[in-house]
Structure 1
Amino acid sequence: MIKVGDKLPSMKLMTPGAEGPQEVDTADLFAGKTVVMFAVPGAFTPTCSAKHLPGFTEHYDALKAKGVDSIICLAVNDVFVMGAWAASQKGADHITFLADGSGMFTRALGLELDLVARGLGVRSQRFALIAKDGVVTHLAVEQAGGFEVSRAEAILEALPA
């Protein structure tokens, strides 16, 4: 599993764009910036839609005030699902939605979650991290079913004043 001090892997992922899906390189998304990335087990799932993503949209200004350049939401979903989810979430226009459709980035992080028995395939664990220039400075991985350490409020507390 990735840990504090590790460099995030460089990989091509997809993000929904105004003119359709766009390929992005994770190295470019993190280079020279302070980035908060949070991951959810799935778009449109209850906790993810009702609490996790809304917390980051609600606290967007406070995160920016603490020096965060961008906020990324990652899920093992296809780019079209991520685009529909982004469009359905009020205030989410400031967040970059990353579709890890095959789960390769999540696997490279060592943060996959096997939900095959529930019919959901292999997804991402619920987590949040802070990275400076692509290097992890804070990592918060939830226990199974938990929603405490990866919440926007917890990430705000982890950022320097």
Structure 2
Amino acid sequence: MAIQVGDTIPSVKLKHLTDNGMQEVDTADLFKGKKVVLFSVPGAFTPTCSAKHLPGFVEQAEALKAKGVEEIVCTAVNDPFVMRAWGEKHNVAGKVFMLPDGNAALATALGLTMDASGHGLGTRGQRFAIVVDDGKVTHVAVEKPGQFEVSSAEAVIAAV
């Protein structure tokens, strides 16, 4: 079952690449005590994700922070090296935290995976945006396959 408003973000341990090497991130800690927007893309460097989804959140970071969002987190079923390179390409520093979900553990725990095997991509996270306040989900927007409407930065700004 997919995560819903009122649910608690699950605790999942993921690996994140920093300047000091690989660091473990526990999602329960990441979302504790603050308002966070988590958005997921099917894959780094893919067309819609690179042209619209991630850049929209980078461009709208200040508008989201003005609405009380303390952190913006981008996740994708990609490895930490790819997520770091993709973030660097889009100048996310200080705006969007790139959270790799290499084994689809977070997407699975959220109940928001999809089978992209037909495109040679295996299991991926669906395209979505979730607003979390102190670990509790306050807004969930999951895109229909092939769509990019309800999870955009602008849609999230309207929802928070």
**Mapped contact 1:78–1:100 kept (Cα < 8 A):** yes
Q: CA deviation at 1:13?
A: 0.7
Q: Does 1:116 align with 2:117?
A: yes
Q: Does 1:151 align with 2:152?
A: yes
**Structure 2, unpaired ranges of 5+:** none
Q: Give the CA RMSD over aligned residues.
A: 0.7
- Looking at structure 1, the residues matched to 103 and 45 of structure 2 have their Cα atoms a distance apart, in angstroms, of 18
- Structure 1 runs of 4+ aligned residues shifted over 2 Å read none
Amino acid at match of 1:140: A
- Looking at structure 2, the residues matched to 85 and 16 of structure 1 have their Cα atoms a distance apart, in angstroms, of 12
- Looking at structure 1, the residues matched to 44 and 23 of structure 2 have their Cα atoms a distance apart, in angstroms, of 18
Amino acid at match of 2:64: L
Q: CA deviation at 1:19?
A: 2.0
Partner in structure 2 of residue 99 of structure 1: 100
Task: Give the paired residue count.
Answer: 158
Q: CA deviation at 1:69?
A: 0.5
- Looking at structure 2, the residues matched to 80 and 21 of structure 1 have their Cα atoms a distance apart, in angstroms, of 10
Helix, strand or coil: the match of 1:107?
Answer: helix
Partner in structure 1 of residue 85 of structure 2: 84
Partner in structure 2 of residue 131 of structure 1: 132
**Mapped contact 1:16–1:97 kept (Cα < 8 A):** no
Helix, strand or coil: the match of 1:145?
Answer: coil
CA shift digits 1:92-115 (9 cap, x unpaired): 112111111110110111100100
**Which structure 2 residues correspond to residues 38-49 of structure 1 after superposition, within 5 A?**
38-49=39-50
Partner in structure 1 of residue 26 of structure 2: 25
**Which structure 2 residues correspond to residues 53-72 of structure 1 after superposition, within 5 A?**
53-72=54-73
Q: Report the TM-score, using the length of structure 1 for normalisation.
A: 0.96
Helix, strand or coil: the match of 1:143?
Answer: coil
